[in-house]
Amino acid sequence: MEIFLQQIVNGLVVGSVYALVALGYTMVYGILGLINFAHGDLVMVGALTALQTMMFLMGVAPGMSPVAMLTLSLLVAIPVCMLLAFTMERLAYRPLRNAPRLAPLITAIGVSFLLQTLAMIVWGRNYHTFPQLISTTPVQPIEGVFITPIQITIIIVSALMMAGLILLVTKTKLGRAMRATAENHRVAALMGVDTNMIIALTFVIGAALAAVAGVMFASNYGIAHYGMGFMPGLKAFTAAVLGGIGNLGGAMLGGVVLGLVESFGAGYIEQATFGFLNSSYQDIFAFIILGLVLIFKPTGLLGERVSDRA
């Protein structure tokens, strides 16, 4: 029983990070029909920018409280990622707005490589220790089930950001303009919506979520690296497809479900295969799910057909 509950906790933590990143994929897909494969790398840029900021702050103000330091580094990482996403959209995707679908898709993969290579040049090829400013000493809310304060923070922050996003999209003029643009650029423009601005904003909001996800991801594992965005990016994409790409609620649901599946998979794979496979094979679950969803339910749990638009 403890193991079961423990897997739920682990799954929720990882799942909320996937969900945050998946939202970025799904929003851009919803509005442009583009799968922005460079989105995962924003997670990495967010984490490494925050790391850089922390190093700087530790140098100039060693006595600063950990929470203030984490907040400040987020306040640097978020705008950096936003600016990067804005530039990405402006330079790489907007010129291809009316090109055949394959062109922006391949471009997105190119941008992903570009970001990773640039990060390698700036931050080097080594793994960096990421300061764990929020305690990683586990507490036991239930005997035998461990959760660390950073994990609790991850779950709460993700939930708040997702709630904020839902409010923005469903309750404000901006969200209405986003949904209108997603449905029909030309008619939305006819209503006076600046569709270029709305599209840029969609990228920028996704980037902010990715930056937060990156900092939390790195804080949880205590490590940061130029290639660290790739795998969570692919997993988040899987989560978006699982939930139904283009659908915000779907991305959140998909993220959490994927987190749980991975966590349970990793927890029980050794028993299930009689020791043939162990928990280091946990990545296979995400991709088995991706395959199964695409074959049997391409609309995902809540959304539209991928093959119609991708």
Partner 1 sequence: MITLLEARNIGKRFGGLQALSEVSLTIRKGEVYGLIGPNGAGKTTFFNVLTGAYTPDGGEFVFNGAPLPSGKPHLVVTQGIARTFQNIRLFRELTALENVMAGHHIRTTAGVWGILTQNKHTVEEERLTTERAYELLKYVGIERFATATAKNLSYGDQRRLEIARALATEPQLLALDEPAAGMNATETGQLKHLIEQIRGDGITVLLIEHDVKLVMGLCDRVAVLDFGRKIAEDVPAEVQKNEAVIGAYLGGGHKHAH
Q: Which of 126, 190, 276, 307 binds partner 1 (CB under 8 A)?
A: 190
User: Any contact of residue 162 with partner 1 (CB under 8 A)?
Assistant: no
Where helices occur in 61-194 by DSSP H, the ranges are 66-88, 102-123, 149-171, 173-183, 185-190
- Measured from the CB atom, is 145 or 212 closer to partner 1? 212
Q: Which is nearer to partner 1, 100 or 192 (CB)?
A: 192
Our finding on whether 168 is near partner 1 (CB under 8 A) is yes
Q: Which stretch binds partner 1 (CB under 8 A): 13-21, 136-144, 181-189, 219-227?
A: 181-189
Contact predicate 227/38, CB 8 Å: no
Separation in Å, CA 293 to CA 33, 110, 165, 282 = 19, 26, 26, 18
Least distance to partner 1, CB of residue 165, Å: 12
7 vs 299, beta carbon nearer partner 1: 299
Q: Which residues pair with 224 in a beta bridge?
A: 128
Question: Are the beta carbons of 241 and 254 closer than 8 angstroms?
Answer: yes
218 binds partner 1 (CB under 8 A): no
Q: Is 166 in the site for partner 1 (CB under 8 A)?
A: no
Binding of partner 1 at residue 191 (CB under 8 A)? Answer: yes
Q: Is 296 exposed, middle or buried (0-12, 13-18, 19+ CB in 10 A)?
A: exposed
Under rule CB under 8 A, residue 169 binds partner 1:
no
Residue with tokens 């998909």: 254
Q: Residue 155 interacts with partner 1 (CB under 8 A)?
A: no
Please give the DSSP secondary-structure letter assigned to residue 126: S
By C-beta, is 105 or 189 nearer to partner 1? 189
Cα 40 to Cα 124: distance, rounded to the nearest angstrom: 19
Helices (H) and strands (E) in the chain, counts: 12, 4
Interaction between residue 98 and partner 1 (CB under 8 A): no
- The span from the CA of 138 to the CA of 207, in Å, is 30
Q: How far is the CB of 29 from partner 1 (least distance, A)?
A: 15
- Residue among 68, 83, 91, 187 that touches partner 1 (CB under 8 A): 187
Q: If you compute the radius of gyration of the chain from its CA atoms, what whole number of angstroms results?
A: 19
CB atoms within 10 A of CB 31: 21
Q: Residues in contact with partner 1, total (CB under 8 A)?
A: 20
Name which of 33 and 138 has its Cβ closer to partner 1. Answer: 33
Residues that bind partner 1 (CB under 8 A): 168, 172-174, 176-177, 179-180, 183-184, 186-194, 201
